[in-house]
A and B are shown apart, each in its own frame.
Chain A
Amino acid sequence: MNAGGTLLEVSDLTVTAAVMDRSLTLLHGVSLTVAPGEVVGLVGESGSGKTTLARSVLGLLESNITIAGGSISLRGEEIVSPAADRTVSIRGKHAGMVFQDASRSLNPLFTVRSQLAEVLRRHVPGIGKDQIAARSAQVLERMRIADTGRVLDSYPHQLSGGLRQRVAIGLAVVTEPALVVADECTTALDVTTQAEVVVLLRSLAADLGVGLLFVTHDLMLASDLCDRIAVMYQGEIVELGAVDTVLLHPEVDYTKRLLAAVPQWNGATSPHA
């Protein structure tokens, strides 16, 4: 199964949801791979199934949603199939997730230090106090946070939005997972901070070899950050390829329409220019 270069392999995944007494199909036989150090963008409009796909990887689906067919493997090991859900063994340890709104993905009642410590204690058996302190500071430095001491002892509400999102990413990568799933993790940020976070994510992939599944509705952002792009529409991947190929030579109408909706930089037609 594992072709050496594959970190995440989603094959023929079908996901259904029970709504009232009907069964809705959210994903129709979706296949996708992410290699170590590769950034794969998952783009599409709301309701296209990109968040469902992202959450399937970590086993974070609502209780009324079931895996009806196909499988997900991480490093050759099957973690999701209709028969079994082994995501517990990888969640937080081998795969981390970053959410849309960092101010709400950090528990308001605990300091950054104690939230990082809990994740480390949970996933690194036998880790000592000194090591926890060292690794916590280290991960924040990697997140390009200057005064790590102050940030560690802060509660989430004492930090700016950008800092909070960097802390949230830090929480997802402090255990050095092989895969990070980012679900619209820059949407709530202003443009400057967004750019900083993108650089940060890029460096995680380039320097640490983390595979990144980057979910976004922003095609331009995806083209900045990603190596490959998967375009989702109505629960299917309608187009998948290298960034340049997908952006410059889109094959399906839906991708063309998405591209047409992006404001142009040089055209006189752009209202934002």
Chain B
Amino acid sequence: MIRRILIRVAAVLVTLLIAISIAFALGRLSGDPTASILGPMATEGQRADLRAELGLDQPLLLQYFDYLGGIFTGDLGNSLQFYQPNLTMILDRVPFTLQLVGAGMLIAIVIGVPLGVLAATREGSWWDRAASALALLGQSIPVFWLGMMLVLLFAVQWGLLPAGQSGSVQHLVLPALTMSLYPMAHVARLTRATMSDVLREPYIDAARARGLSAGSIVWKHAFKNASLPVLTIVVLQAGTLLSGAVAVEYVYAWPGLGQLALQAIQFRDFPLVQAIVVFGAITFVLLNQLVDLLHALIDPRVR
């Protein structure tokens, strides 16, 4: 048991090391940032000074070890455009992104899961068609377009909800709704597919033969078995969205990580880009571990 945990921890650390190394390499591959920071009028001397200030004149390997050392001491460097520690800025933005992703995923699950289950238990019915339609629309409508249409209807036309920015529950409704559509479609489709597979399992047949109630057969016996892949998708989608729901945050001027990432990229603020990528990688790896843990909790065969 302890051996398994140690191996697991080692695997996580190696994954993280690879991810943050890639983030470092990407930052260095994107060209000389001094050009865009100082503008085209800067002299070669000024640029050399800035390079020295940023440590870019050091050997690459030295820069790399500096960077690694920084990460392990919680120092993700300073932003080139905001003159602030990157970590502070990221942590300032995280609560907003968490709100958005949390609310969006909640809507996606609350609608997607029951719809998928209804579609699977009533194959070929109206529910089934509704789920297919949702899956098709949700996965083909571009997020930025949906966002603009919702703003147009709910904010501009009917004046029911604010068009952008954050601060209250009303502000959260439209961005969360916009964000939820794609994962909702994914969840509904996957729930329907896994549920209809599980409902054909002999143990479901046997549960019927034992005279168990329809509710227990569908929600306890079948859904518990079907929940594993659905759970995986939910957590991994949340992970992807956490490290930058760029389109939604942009459309609604939502002050989350996605906005910050966009600004950092536009300004070639490579330390900030790097810091956001590192933060995203750590979040994603940890969420992956969470998925494994939940699997083990639900399924005794993987314990």
Interfacial chain A residues near B201, Cβ < 8 Å: 104
Interface residues of B in 200-231 (CB under 8 A from A): 201-203, 205-213, 216, 221, 224-225
The answer to whether residues A118 and B206 also contact, given A91-B211, A155-B301 and a CB cut-off of 8 A, is no
Please classify the interface of chain A as helix (H, G, I), strand (E, B), loop, or mixed, using the class held by over half of its residues.
mixed
**Chain B CB within 8 A of A58 CB:** yes
User: Which of A93, A108, A122 sits near B213, CB closer than 8 Å?
Assistant: A122
Does A91 lie within 8 Å of B210, measured CB to CB?
yes
Does A105 lie within 8 Å of B212, measured CB to CB?
no
Does B213 lie within 8 Å of A92, measured CB to CB?
no
Question: Considering only CB atoms, which chain B residue lies closest to A89 in the complex?
Answer: B211
The answer to whether residues A92 and B298 also contact, given A60-B205, A97-B206, A105-B206 and a CB cut-off of 8 A, is no
Interface residues of B in 173-211 (CB under 8 A from A): 201-203, 205-211
**Chain B CB within 8 A of A109 CB:** yes
Contact with B along A64-106 (1 / 0, CB 8 A): 0000000000000000000000001011110011011100111
B299 to chain A, nearest CB (A): 6
Does A109 lie within 8 Å of B209, measured CB to CB?
no
Please classify the interface of chain B as helix (H, G, I), strand (E, B), loop, or mixed, using the class held by over half of its residues.
helix
Question: Considering only CB atoms, which chain A residue lies closest to B227 in the complex?
Answer: A109
Distance between Cα atoms of A58 and B298 in the complex (Å): 31
Interfacial chain A residues near B301, Cβ < 8 Å: 108, 155, 157
Does B202 lie within 8 Å of A108, measured CB to CB?
no
Question: Considering only CB atoms, which chain B residue lies closest to A59 in the complex?
Answer: B208
**Chain B CB within 8 A of A168 CB:** yes
Interfacial chain A residues near B206, Cβ < 8 Å: 97, 99, 105-106, 168, 171
Question: Considering only CB atoms, which chain B residue lies closest to A118 in the complex?
Answer: B212
Does A123 lie within 8 Å of B203, measured CB to CB?
no
User: Which of B205, B210, B224 sits near A172, CB closer than 8 Å?
Assistant: B210
Question: Considering only CB atoms, which chain B residue lies closest to A158 in the complex?
Answer: B300
Question: Considering only CB atoms, which chain B residue lies closest to A93 in the complex?
Answer: B211
Interfacial chain B residues near A99, Cβ < 8 Å: 202, 205-206, 209
**Chain B CB within 8 A of A119 CB:** yes
A268 to chain B, nearest CB (A): 41
Interfacial chain A residues near B300, Cβ < 8 Å: 108-109, 155, 157-158
Interfacial chain A residues near B211, Cβ < 8 Å: 88, 90-93, 119, 122-123
Distance between Cα atoms of A157 and B300 in the complex (Å): 9
Interfacial chain A residues near B212, Cβ < 8 Å: 92, 118-119, 122
Distance between Cα atoms of A100 and B202 in the complex (Å): 9
Contact with B along A48-69 (1 / 0, CB 8 A): 0000000000101000000000
The answer to whether residues A92 and B209 also contact, given A107-B203, A155-B301, A157-B300 and a CB cut-off of 8 A, is yes
Interface centre among A100, A101, A109 (most CB of B within 10 A): A109
Distance between Cα atoms of A218 and B225 in the complex (Å): 34
B207 to chain A, nearest CB (A): 7
Does B210 lie within 8 Å of A119, measured CB to CB?
yes
Interface residues of B in 272-303 (CB under 8 A from A): 298-301
A124 to chain B, nearest CB (A): 12
Interfacial chain B residues near A105, Cβ < 8 Å: 202-203, 205-206
Does B299 lie within 8 Å of A60, measured CB to CB?
no
Interfacial chain B residues near A100, Cβ < 8 Å: 202
The answer to whether residues A109 and B210 also contact, given A104-B202, A157-B300 and a CB cut-off of 8 A, is no
Does B210 lie within 8 Å of A106, measured CB to CB?
no
Q: List 28 A-B contacts (CB under 8 A).
A: A60-B205, A60-B209, A90-B211, A91-B209, A93-B211, A96-B209, A96-B210, A97-B206, A99-B202, A99-B209, A101-B202, A105-B202, A105-B205, A105-B206, A106-B206, A107-B203, A107-B207, A107-B225, A108-B300, A109-B298, A118-B216, A119-B210, A122-B210, A122-B212, A122-B213, A123-B211, A155-B301, A172-B209
Please list the 4 inter-chain residue pairs (A to B) with the smallest Cβ-Cβ separation, ordered nearest first: A92-B211, A105-B206, A91-B211, A97-B209
Q: Which residues of A contact B (CB under 8 A)?
A: 58, 60, 88, 90-93, 96-97, 99-101, 104-110, 118-119, 122-123, 155, 157-158, 168, 171-172
